[in-house]
Amino acid sequence: MPVEFNQEDGTGLEDSTSYVSSAEYTQYLENYGYSSNKTGDEILQLLNRSQLLINERYWFKGEIVKNTQALDWPRHRCYTKNNVSIASDEIPKALKDAQCSIAYQIDLADEAEGEITNPNAEKEGYQSQSLGPMSITYGNNSSSNDRGISYNTADTLLKPFTDNTYRV
């Protein structure tokens, strides 16, 4: 079966699965010097997964535009970090960048088969413990999940829209 993928266009679609297109994600990687071995449907799956995490993790200010929309955006009564009103038919660049950042972190974790791939892990509160040949690395910071993936960039980008209120 083909991957179901529909990009939100700011109208509050009932069947959208992502805020970001495959082309936008690829451009994001290029802009920041990142690379990925994923192509085609694999990128669409990454974007669907990252959007799911956004909807599961963050409580956004304001109200959704339509009761029938699939995603948490677009919204009424939201503002940028500079207190500029976001149009109710706009998907903020910060939200798109956050989704791309999360997709890339998921991609890195998939490639490492669950290993922590964050180069700043020690500074961000991760700890490792070993017993003989076994070791475990875990995070004691609230912006990580059980795979040790850090979402600090997304947390920072989305902070103006959330009041630091997370669902997990």
| Euclidean distance between CA atoms 149 and 117, whole angstroms | 7
Residue 32: per-residue pLDDT: 93
Q: What is the mean pLDDT of residues 90-105?
A: 96
Return the amino acid letter for 16: S
Is the CB of residue 148 less than 8 Å from the CB of residue 137?
yes
| Euclidean distance between CA atoms 54 and 49, whole angstroms | 9
Encode pLDDT of 2-14 as tens digits.
899 999 999 999 9
Instruction: Supply the pTM of this predicted model.
Output: 0.78
Residue 144: per-residue pLDDT: 43
Residue 64: per-residue pLDDT: 96
Encode pLDDT of 112-146 as tens digits.
764 444 455 554 555 555 554 554 455 544 444 44
Encode pLDDT of 15-65 as tens digits.
999 999 999 999 999 999 999 999 999 999 999 999 999 998 899 999 999
In terms of residues, how long is the chain? Answer: 168
CA distances from 101 to 1, 26, 53, 78, 96 (A): 27, 12, 12, 21, 9
